[in-house]
Amino acid sequence: SSPSLRAAAMAAGPPPLEPSRLPVFSEEGFGEKFLRKTRENPLVPLGCLCTVGVLTYGLISFKRGNIRRSQQMMRARVLAQGFTFAALLGGMVVTAMKSRK
C-alpha cells in the first residue's frame, strides 16, 4: 500500500461501526469448575463415588479372604463403571442438545 492511500484512509476517520467488545471471562479455578460440572450432571460424581466405594469394599473383602464377596464386588464395580459411563454420555448428549437451541 502506498503512503498516499494510507494518508487518505486515515483522513477519512474511524470506520463507521465500532467493533463489538469481546466478552471478558474470569479465570475459573478447579473448585468452581468441579461444582459447575457437578450441578450440570450430578450422576457422574455419584457414579464415581459408587465405583470407588464398591472397589474399596471388594479389596477389603479380598484381603480378609472372603473371595465370594470380593468377586461380587468386582462385578458390582463393573456395573457402577457402566452407570458412570452412561451418565457421562447422557450428559454430553443433553449439553449438545442445549447448545443447538
* Residue 2 belongs to a domain: no
* Cα distance between residue 42 and residue 85, in whole Å: 13
pLDDT digits (tens, 9 = 90+) for 35-90: 988 888 899 999 999 999 999 999 999 999 999 999 999 999 999 999 999 999 99
Structural domain boundaries, residue 81: 40-100
Instruction: Work out the pLDDT band at 28, boundaries 50, 70, 90.
Output: confident
Pairwise pLDDT comparison (72 vs 31), residue with the higher score:
72
* Residue 26 belongs to a domain: no
What pLDDT does residue 14 have? 60
Number of domains the chain is built from: 1
Place of cell 463489538: 20
- Please give the DSSP secondary-structure letter assigned to residue 62: H
Helices (H) and strands (E) in the chain, counts: 4, 0
What pLDDT does residue 67 have? 96
Maximum distance among all alpha carbons in the chain? 90
| Single pTM value for the model | 0.65
